[in-house]
Amino acid sequence: MKAIFVSYNQAFNDEIVECLEKNGQRGFSRWDEVMGRGSEDGEPHYGSHAWPVLNQSVLSMVEDDKVEQILRDLKGKDERHPELGLRAFVWNIEEHI
């Protein structure tokens, strides 16, 4: 089992949930109004007057065989709209209840 953490521009919200559902992934936790700044480029997402955009983040526990396709779908979204910003990270899950 893997954990996929996705941080993305709030404009992507519906698309991220649709991506998970399309790949048979029902469960996730989402954080709204996440602030941050990319490590390479892009504008800060601080929710302030100067930088009004905010991010959202999703964490989903995924069976190993679903990870590759989910990441491929997410990468496609990021490549189509690089100005919005989307990052995904995968961790191994050692145990769960």
pLDDT in tens, 1-52: 999 999 999 999 899 999 999 999 999 999 999 998 887 777 888 999 999 9
- Residues 70-87 as b/e (b if ≥16 CB within 10 A, e otherwise) read bbebbeebbeeeeebbbe
Rounded CA gap, 15 and 26, in Å?
A: 14
Q: Is residue 77 part of a domain?
A: yes
pLDDT at 83 over 90: no
pLDDT at 84 over 90: no
Q: Is residue 23 part of a domain?
A: yes
Kindly report whether the global pTM for this prediction surpasses the value 0.75: yes
Q: What is the pLDDT of residue 76?
A: 96
- The total domain count for the chain is 1
Mean predicted confidence (pLDDT) in 78-94: 93
Q: What is the pLDDT of residue 80?
A: 94
Rounded CA gap, 77 and 64, in Å?
A: 21
Mean predicted confidence (pLDDT) in 93-97: 92
Rounded CA gap, 86 and 9, in Å?
A: 7
AA identity, residue 36: G
Closest to 58 measured CA to CA, from 86, 92, 96: 86
Look-up: residue for tokens 């490590």?
39
Residue 35 belongs to domain spanning: 11-39+64-85
Q: Is residue 95 part of a domain?
A: no
